[in-house]
Chain A
């Protein structure tokens, strides 16, 4: 265990754990749009930046992304200095220029007093904030069906060559974890469509409820050693537990509409 000072308060933390986890545990309100406990920290949104210093640094300070900064003994952390608030304001202002109609961004920006962007709005705005959660979660699930394509301002999330992704199994890990509901899918009858690809949904043998896609079930029984008959049952608590133990991926907060 190590001791750090956060906004003047002494706090104990595990050595090497990321600073953001400590801040969250201490109930300090730090915005972070690209962070998810199921995947490796990414450092793309830059909203979780904090100011750090040490006694021996002689007044020299550094701004770091707390989601990526490993805690070490003696760190002195400030989370809401004027500079940091200004930085977060600027970042949210820039976000608003890209995603002017996205409620999640509007709310967060409003918290920081940014009601409208002061920059030029992009011509054809959408809700994607390019946090990369979907691609990282897809990687972690073991599919890598989608990825960030293009560079710079033209970056977007897409399947290979923007065709129906051959590696996708329709598990919805990307869509359900998209913080702005940008990734769309439809479940019509026995068919699920996502990323332009159609999947067949399985049905619970007893209740007749729809469960997961055939491809996902096949993948799980083959690679995660889950018996095929597991998928014949739609036992909600069992399913959730198994999904979480498989790498804490699926947070089934928003359920698939039946």
Chain B
């Protein structure tokens, strides 16, 4: 059905709202990638199977809703019983019968599925009371976990495409750009450039063709912000792009998605098809003089294709290699035409700004860094997952309030922000407000929002080595400083990890890093040495321990550690002897075991199986 006017859209929204409200009770099953991997589809199937067998009053299988990612992937599969908001974690298909019987038929709360707060061990019943959610401020993730991503009616029911209708009927392109500029929305892909300014520059370039591209090529290790948004709320992305297209005068848009995100591709394809069917994409959108269409370009998984010029080459079907941007891509981008390229999260913020106004948006966050930011909080924290907080929230609030602190109560050591191009920040920076400028000043960066928390068992030299290894294999290899320079940095970190480093190597690395920053062609090389430089800056002692004392304080670097059985604690259970693949452990039953250092490969398998903490690493 084609929607031909904003008025008709309004009527439809009212109608769909009514449809959505007709269920007295609802069950929401999180079907983000994390929960699906944990078996969410089996939960949905179990509900269908169960409900086909028994009749439940006021409840049918239609009231079981598959939504996008809730963010709390660690506890998945997640099930929420509405309208009470009872929040069940780690649900198994065999539990469904019980849930239907108790929670749906009799409104009871089943204690054993509730979330246990790792801080005090209390059970938490309601969804909004879980600290992981209660400290968040959700704007970009507003619809995630609330609507079914593959149903356009659900999106329209939550005032979807209202901003588009508002823009088309009451605003001029210039007014839209003014509003976005006024909101101080900054690019969420990491650069933090003013979106409004970008749009204005693009609009002012005289050309018959303008393009809008959405960057969904999220390649940072441990990051899944854009993925969850594209999977869980694809229509918001499309709406943001449409508003942008109207503002800059574009008729064609592209969404660049990694092919490793199959669900995102499917959901976006469905969303685009639905929009075309409803007249929200194509010619004369909502009856206005505005035509726009969107195509999906699938990336083959090169990290460097997240860089704007490489991405545009990739969209055009060429090899994804960056070019020098002395002429910006806003002026000469895709097919040499003016192009706006924004991140998924940036576009998702646009409809909200249009609906609520720039002033409302600017009140959230801190000056010059308005709004919120989505992070994927991973690593050694108790609650890992996808979070969204207002800009200026401190690292401590994120890690301790939302993340629930470090696993096993271990001491905090550092947090890596901004992916492989970002840096590691130490404990002294825990009270740093998280915004674009503060992070850059501290030697890290916002990046697209990866946040990896590390405890005292993480070796910072090893962390630098890991990220350099990633960058060496993901560099496109076009320019010398990045291709050869990062390779040499990586070699030097390996040398230090193996205990062969000298203090001169640190100086050498610092000097080479500076030249790489200055000399590289694109952002990947220019920010490539960041993990190394920030770890040298904040954890120099650890580097020196590797070099001078030939010790790895965190017990990670194999050449610098030894495993030893503590005879007083060893019960002689034989567990480690069985586990050791190198036959390096000997001993009799009920007698303390001994590790033969010549045979020990330091794999750590013995530590993993020892129940008595009788093996120490030094």
Which residue from A64, A83, A120, A147 sits with its C-beta under 8 Å from B488?
A120
How many residues of A sit at the interface, in one of the four size bands?
20 to 34
On whether the beta carbons of B480 and A46 are closer than 8 Å, the reply is: yes
Tell me the nearest residue of chain B to A132, going by C-beta.
B478
User: Which of chain B's residues have a CB closer than 8 A to the CB of A69?
Assistant: 324, 326
Interface 1/0 per residue, B484-499 and A, CB below 8 Å: 1111100100000000
Tell whether B519 is near chain A: CB-to-CB under 8 Å: yes
The smallest beta-carbon distance between A18 and chain B, in angstroms, is: 10
Q: Which residues of A contact B481 (CB under 8 A)?
A: 46, 90-91, 94
Residue of A nearest to B521 (CB): A43
Q: Enumerate A74-105 residues with CB–CB distance to B below 8 Å.
A: 83, 86-87, 90-91, 94-95, 97-98
Q: How far is the CA of A147 from the CA of B320 in the complex (A)?
A: 13
A64 to B511, CA, bound (A): 19
Q: Which of B304, B480, B486 contacts A91 (CB 8 A)?
A: B480
Which of A64, A87, A90, A151 contacts B326, CB < 8 Å?
A: A64
Q: Is A38 an interface position by the 8 A CB rule?
A: no
Task: Answer whether residue A44 sits at the interface, using C-beta atoms and an 8 A cutoff.
Answer: yes
Contact A87 B515 (CB under 8 A): yes
> In the docked arrangement, what's the CA distance between A49 and B518, Å?
10
Are the CB atoms of B479 and A155 closer together than 8 Å?
A: no
Residue of chain A at shortest CB distance from B471: A152
- Does B523 touch A at the CB level, under 8 Å? no
When distances are taken between beta carbons in the complex, the residues of chain B under 8 Å from A227 are: none
Query: Of A43, A63, A152, which is in contact with the most chain B CB atoms at under 10 Å from its CB?
Result: A152
Of all chain A residues, the one with the shortest Cβ separation from B522 is: A43
Asked if A21 lies at the interface with its beta carbon under 8 angstroms from chain B, I say: no
Is A49 a contact of B519 with CB atoms below 8 Å?
yes
Question: Which residue of the partner chain B has the closest CB to A122?
Answer: B487
The complex places the Cα of A72 from the Cα of B293 at a distance, in Å, of 38
A106 to chain B, nearest CB (A): 16
Does any Cβ of B come within 8 Å of A70's Cβ?
A: yes
A206: interface (CB < 8 Å): no
Beyond A87-B515, A148-B477, whether A153 also contacts B483 by CB under 8 A is: yes
Q: Which residues of A contact B319 (CB under 8 A)?
A: 147-148
Q: How far is the CA of A52 from the CA of B55 in the complex (A)?
A: 77
A155 and B477 contact, CB distance less than 8 A: yes
Q: Within 8 Å CB of B304, what residues of A?
A: 151
Q: Is the pair B480, A94 in contact by a Cβ cutoff of 8 Å?
A: yes
Is the CB of A233 closer than 8 A to any CB of chain B? no
User: What is the CB-to-nearest-CB distance from A11 to chain B, in angstroms, rounded to a whole number?
Assistant: 19
Which has the most chain B C-beta neighbours within 10 Å: A70, A118, A120?
A120
Neighbour of B302 across the interface among A43, A44, A64, A151, CB < 8 A: A151
Contact (Cβ within 8 A) A45 B302: no
Q: Which residues of A contact B477 (CB under 8 A)?
A: 130, 148, 150-155
A234 at the interface (CB under 8 A from B): no
Asked whether any CB of chain B lies closer than 8 Å to the CB of A230, the reply is no
Shortest Cβ distance from B475 into A: residue? A152
Q: Are A44 and B521 in contact (CB under 8 A)?
A: yes
Annotate B304-327 by CB proximity to A: 1 below 8 A, 0 otherwise.
100000000000000100011011
| Known A-B contacts A46-B519, A151-B302; A95 and B326 likewise in contact (beta carbons under 8 Å) | no
Q: How far is the CB of B252 from chain A (nearest CB, A)?
A: 25
Q: In the complex, which residue of chain B has the Cβ closest to the Cβ of A45? A: B480
Q: How far is the CA of A69 from the CA of B327 in the complex (A)?
A: 9
Give chain B residues whose Cβ lies under 8 Å from the Cβ of A70: 326-327
Task: List the interface of chain B (C-beta within 8 A of A).
Answer: 302, 304, 319, 323-324, 326-327, 471-481, 483-488, 491, 508, 511-512, 515, 518-521
**17 further interface pairs, Cβ-Cβ under 8 Å (given A130-B483, A155-B477):** A43-B323, A43-B521, A45-B479, A68-B323, A68-B324, A68-B326, A91-B480, A91-B519, A94-B480, A94-B485, A95-B484, A97-B484, A120-B491, A152-B475, A153-B487, A154-B473, A155-B476
Could you show 10 A-B contacts with beta carbons less than 8 Å apart? A43-B521, A45-B479, A49-B519, A63-B519, A64-B326, A70-B326, A90-B485, A151-B473, A152-B475, A153-B477
